Structure 1
Amino acid sequence: MIDLDGQVALTTELFGDPEALFGTLGGRGPVHRVALPDGMPAWLVTGHREVREALSDPRLVRGAHAAAPELRQYLGMYSDEFVLTKHMMLSDPPDHTRMRKVVAKAFTPRRVELLRPRVQEITDGLLDAVLPAGRADLVEDLALPLPIAVICEMLGVPFGDRDEFGRYAEVITGMNASSGPGELAAAGQWFNTYLSELIASRRTEPGDDMISGMLEAQRHGDTLSDLEMRSNVFILLVGGFETSVNLIANGVLALLRHPEALERLRADEGLLPGAVEELMRFDSPVSTVTYRFAAEPLTIGGAEIRPGDHVAVSIAAANHDPARFTDPGRLDITRRTNGHLAFSHGIHFCLGAPLARLEGEIALREVLRRLPGLGLAEPAESLTWKQNFIVHRLDRLPVTFTPGPA
């Protein structure tokens, strides 16, 4: 049994570095009592087997109603004060099942695969813009604008609105770090108003986009309330780009820091699908899954969890568990990575996983093809990361390469 009073205070930087996290926790034990960087007490699950169990245990619920009263002050965007909380990521069955059914009908693998030519076209255009200069910031010039353009097109967000969408989305992803409660509330209100108008326009003028598809599903009996519709479109917009941004940028950085893997991949593009999986395992785009609350007593890895306790899981640590992955600190693009948890597990497994894989594969392939002589423009040690313990995103990735024509 873990001592409930033995909290280890954790900093944001630790969540993207599994070895440093294990060192601070005092070892690789599967469950630890911690204080998260925002001060919120939690059980942090780090073992691969225990993380899988926690992510699929119905006794750990997403609804904030199950949180102990003293935890409410830490909930931020997940509290009822944030207007767009009624989406599938913060729901439990049967509401989660009902909402995911509607969204999934508009987010099928077939629809995602049909996007391949468009993802290729956007990628080519973004690289065309930087090729003549011989230098770029691959976060701002590729990793960020590519998935934002794709998810906005999928949901029918007009091109002229995307910059404003991007600004408010950055506020949301700064939750518990760079964004304060007032900024989060303002961003939520902006999204609520904007999406109300966008959904209303699709009701009168449907198109070939996901919002129209969700509205069509509702006409066939799969219903969402107006607030649930706005909330689920919101989480698709914001969640629909974050994983891809980090997969692309973190993946390029990992390859630059392991030039033998980069050259092997450049020589054999057939290794790319497996390499994408290994890059997600090696440097997980989402480092931590938070806000699961015990609805009843349970035991995880020897820790006795009480009702109302907060359980967080470290995806990054689970993906570096030597009990599951041999020599986990080594990047091996030929590794069999079956079982990595970069897209979570259980009923909340990432619905956008096929899209993230598609965007990551195309972006990484074209970077290797079209940017000869690729290298970091400054030492890797000088690079900084977004101050967030949920996602692991580079602030920027300055590179140089041999200039060429668009």
Structure 2
Amino acid sequence: MLQRTGEIPLTTHVFGDPEALFTALGDRSPVHRVALPDGMPAVLITGNGAAREALSDPRLVRSVSAAAPELHRFHPLASDDYPLSRHMLFADPPDHARLRKLVSKAFTRRRVEQMRPRIQEITDELIDVIAPKGRADLVETLALPLPIAVISEMLGVPFADRAEFERHAEVLTGINASSGFDDIIAAGRWFDTYLAELVTRRRAEPGDDLISGMIAAQEAGDRLTDLELRSNALLLLTAGFETTVNLLANGILALLRHPRQQAELRADPSRLPNAVDELMRFDSPVSCITYHFAAEPLEVAGFAIEQGEHVVIAAAAANHDPAVFDDPARLDLGRENLGYLLGFSHGIHYCLGAPLARAEGEIAFGTLLRRLSQLKLDVPESALEWKQSFVLHRLRALPVRFTAA
């Protein structure tokens, strides 16, 4: 049994707003002991340096088997009833390196550069639909369908199935917030059945897609079980679009809120690569990186953590650490020290899809600014709604009006 005192109870909305989180915590100390919105006790790391230290520490593991017994009820993805948790995100060495190696070739910078023309084509097709209308919900018409189309094509998911898997993926990304335990289990079972059928089809008719590639690696003798194959396919499907949806929607909103920065970026598209990272830092798609458990007692930034405790990295707060980012509440598309950005995590679990997400961001923002002018919110900013989650910072809708260039 963990012995904890002084837990600060936190509500969901503060995780997407670093200033609100710092206020709720009472100070800007880099580590705090808190109660998450679902009641789960955790050590919350908000400092950028402390976060990088924690994410590099091999004593903080992803396996829920290292968690204190009283924490297991908060983790439905580790339940015996949930079928698809054998993927690299919840794996520790040496399994992590084995699983990551099997899919890393699909996300190299060279492979992503080869995909840019197709990403551009999809983006143009989506904007072709909305350009004559003068107004649109940019979550529904751009931020959501673009990354879904890209990752679906990479994995070989038939176009007709995308809406259905998007619906079930929404349930999984609502973990510990808008989705209940039973909903998570049901969505996992749907994906297990769906992916088993898809894998069977790809075995019979291989294609130039990632699932076919994993099957080929398995048949060539790489140590990959059928369950690991399906689990990693699910991880790539869900992680491959959810965070990019938020990057696009949150980034567009930031540009709407800062018209001068929007105009400067429209005038000089060469700034797009740096702008993507700054937009991600300014309004992080991922509020928290959860499910790290202390395999033994340790210290982070001088803070003592007990064996079995749950350690959470507040990525949005770490991206607003004034010790690293000067005037962090200011959007600066020319900011130079973005190497400390935690938008894609850090350490061995650094996001494989980072080059792909950056490419989609550059193409989506650049095309939007090139083809649509006079971009403005079509509702009062106070009317915007965010998905209930302390893990992801996700707009439900982004209504805008514009003029086709």
| TM bucket, shorter chain | over 0.9
* Runs of 4 or more above 4 Å deviation: none
Match of 2:385 in 1: 384
Structure 1 contact 287–392 (Cα < 8 Å) conserved? yes
1:218 Cα shift?
Answer: 2.3
1:216 Cα shift?
Answer: 2.1
Looking at structure 2, the residues matched to 115 and 403 of structure 1 have their Cα atoms a distance apart, in angstroms, of: 26
Structure 1 contact 195–230 (Cα < 8 Å) conserved? yes
Structure 1 contact 282–319 (Cα < 8 Å) conserved? yes
* Bigger shift: residues 198-207 or 261-270: 198-207
Q: Secondary structure at the match of 2:169?
A: helix
Match of 2:19 in 1: 19
Match of 1:54 in 2: 54
Structure 1 contact 386–394 (Cα < 8 Å) conserved? yes
Match of 1:357 in 2: 358
Looking at structure 1, the residues matched to 61 and 368 of structure 2 have their Cα atoms a distance apart, in angstroms, of: 41
Structure 2 contact 192–230 (Cα < 8 Å) conserved? yes
The answer to whether structure 1 residue 277 and structure 2 residue 272 are counterparts is: no
Q: Secondary structure at the match of 2:316?
A: helix
1:403 Cα shift?
Answer: 4.7
1:335 Cα shift?
Answer: 0.3
What is the number of equivalent residue pairs in this alignment?
402
Give the alignment of 1:228-377 within 5 angstroms: 228-336=228-336, 337-377=338-378
Q: What residue ranges of structure 2 are gaps of 5+ in the alignment? A: none
1:238 Cα shift?
Answer: 0.4
1:109 Cα shift?
Answer: 2.5
Structure 2 contact 9–37 (Cα < 8 Å) conserved? yes
Looking at structure 2, the residues matched to 42 and 183 of structure 1 have their Cα atoms a distance apart, in angstroms, of: 24
The answer to whether structure 1 residue 31 and structure 2 residue 31 are counterparts is: yes
Looking at structure 2, the residues matched to 239 and 162 of structure 1 have their Cα atoms a distance apart, in angstroms, of: 15
Q: Secondary structure at the match of 2:4?
A: coil
Structure 1 contact 61–292 (Cα < 8 Å) conserved? yes
Looking at structure 1, the residues matched to 80 and 386 of structure 2 have their Cα atoms a distance apart, in angstroms, of: 29
Q: Tell me the amino acid that sits aligned with residue 384 of structure 1.
A: E
Q: Tell me the amino acid that sits aligned with residue 341 of structure 1.
A: L
Give the alignment of 1:5-154 within 5 angstroms: 5-154=5-154
Q: Tell me the amino acid that sits aligned with residue 104 of structure 2.
A: A
1:321 Cα shift?
Answer: 0.4
Match of 1:393 in 2: 394
Structure 1 contact 102–218 (Cα < 8 Å) conserved? no
Cα deviations by residue, 1:137-171 (Å, 9 ceiling, x for unpaired) = 00001000000011001000011111101111111
Structure 2 contact 108–355 (Cα < 8 Å) conserved? no
1:371 Cα shift?
Answer: 1.0
Q: Secondary structure at the match of 2:373?
A: coil
Structure 1 contact 298–306 (Cα < 8 Å) conserved? yes
The answer to whether structure 1 residue 402 and structure 2 residue 403 are counterparts is: yes
Q: Secondary structure at the match of 1:273?
A: helix
Q: Tell me the amino acid that sits aligned with residue 365 of structure 2.
A: L
1:81 Cα shift?
Answer: 2.6
Looking at structure 1, the residues matched to 108 and 361 of structure 2 have their Cα atoms a distance apart, in angstroms, of: 18
Looking at structure 2, the residues matched to 371 and 108 of structure 1 have their Cα atoms a distance apart, in angstroms, of: 31
Q: Tell me the amino acid that sits aligned with residue 307 of structure 2.
A: P
Structure 1 contact 137–398 (Cα < 8 Å) conserved? yes
Looking at structure 1, the residues matched to 81 and 152 of structure 2 have their Cα atoms a distance apart, in angstroms, of: 26
Q: Secondary structure at the match of 2:172?
A: helix
1:205 Cα shift?
Answer: 1.1
1:319 Cα shift?
Answer: 0.5
Q: Secondary structure at the match of 1:114?
A: helix
Cα deviations by residue, 1:94-145 (Å, 9 ceiling, x for unpaired) = 1111111111133333222221111111111111111111000000010000
Looking at structure 1, the residues matched to 8 and 228 of structure 2 have their Cα atoms a distance apart, in angstroms, of: 37
Q: Tell me the amino acid that sits aligned with residue 216 of structure 1.
A: A
Structure 2 contact 40–74 (Cα < 8 Å) conserved? yes
Q: What residue ranges of structure 1 are gaps of 5+ in the alignment? A: none
Q: Tell me the amino acid that sits aligned with residue 396 of structure 1.
A: A
Cα deviations by residue, 1:30-70 (Å, 9 ceiling, x for unpaired) = 10010001100000000000000111110000001001010
1:4 Cα shift?
Answer: 3.4
Looking at structure 2, the residues matched to 360 and 256 of structure 1 have their Cα atoms a distance apart, in angstroms, of: 16
Looking at structure 1, the residues matched to 143 and 279 of structure 2 have their Cα atoms a distance apart, in angstroms, of: 15
Cα deviations by residue, 1:227-285 (Å, 9 ceiling, x for unpaired) = 00000000000000011101110000001101110010011111111100100111111
Match of 2:175 in 1: 175
Structure 1 contact 105–213 (Cα < 8 Å) conserved? no
Q: Secondary structure at the match of 2:175?
A: coil
Looking at structure 1, the residues matched to 300 and 225 of structure 2 have their Cα atoms a distance apart, in angstroms, of: 36
Looking at structure 2, the residues matched to 107 and 361 of structure 1 have their Cα atoms a distance apart, in angstroms, of: 16
Looking at structure 2, the residues matched to 64 and 317 of structure 1 have their Cα atoms a distance apart, in angstroms, of: 25
1:219 Cα shift?
Answer: 3.2
Give the alignment of 1:186-225 within 5 angstroms: 186-225=186-225
Looking at structure 1, the residues matched to 368 and 253 of structure 2 have their Cα atoms a distance apart, in angstroms, of: 12
